[in-house]
Amino acid sequence: MTERLLEGRTALLTGVGSGLGRGLATSFAAAGAKVALVARSSAVPDALVQEIRAAGGTAAFLKGDITDPASIAQAVDETVATFGGIDIVVQIAAHGQSHLSRPLDDITLDEWDQHVAITLSGCYQVAHAAYPALKASGRGRLIAITSAHGLAGDASNPIYASLKGAIRGFAKALAKEWGDDAIAVNLFSPSSESESSKAYFALHPEAWEALRAAFPMRRMGDPAIDIAPAIVALAGEQFRFVSGQTIPIDGGFYTTL
């Protein structure tokens, strides 16, 4: 339960096509936030908007591409025009294949640049476009996603580990730069199950048993029940004095911060 912790606030969310994005969108709306769902295509967000409205929430779809400065700036402007401002930005959009294991000698420069453009530069584009609105809010929150692989490294996925680590440095820098503007900047590092991961582990139970041992709570998190409510709290007043931090929401998977 998230209660109405975000009543009267507007949240702009990217990456809403994923299970985690959906969980965040519905949880933020249930907590009272007006939710702007930004995506390149309306295929998923339109249905999600209708679901949120049917539950009594407020939501709108804004078309935006995080790799295109003009596009994301327009989505921000339309959000401000529609809802009167932006108090919270949650940036989780990333390259669709960033989770796949790829050794460095299999990665071309073009592939590397594509991942950088979406996962890292996309985070910059969103932050850059949203900054004036977050400053005007007087209680702005920028929340982005990282990973335990960005904290500890990952021998099987150097792109993912590198970019998630870079986002952590970016967030720390913004937390210091934007502090005078009353904007808190934080990251969360989730271990969240998805439809694709559930399907994969159903076909490969031995892979899940090997991974399961790394989780002290012996499971991955449910996006809507375990992960999203924690992000709602991070976006609210209860955590207004927390900034520049990485919050693992992973059942104890990463414990060396």
Catalytic residue set: 160
Q: How far apart are CA 152 and CA 228, in angstroms?
A: 23
Q: How far apart are CA 25 and CA 34, in angstroms?
A: 10
Cα separation of the two ends of the chain = 28
Q: How far apart are CA 81 and CA 36, in angstroms?
A: 11
CA 100 to chain centre: 18
Cβ 130 vs Cβ 177: under 8 Å: no
- The sign of the torsion formed by the CA atoms of 66, 70, 71, 75 equals positive
Phi, psi (deg, nearest 5) at residue 136: -65, -25
DSSP three-state, residue 136: helix
Tokens (6 digits) for 233:
């709290």
Cβ 235 vs Cβ 11: under 8 Å: yes
Scanning the structure block, which residue is given the tokens 């998230």? 2
Whole-angstrom CA distances from 116 to 12, 122, 171 are 22, 8, 16
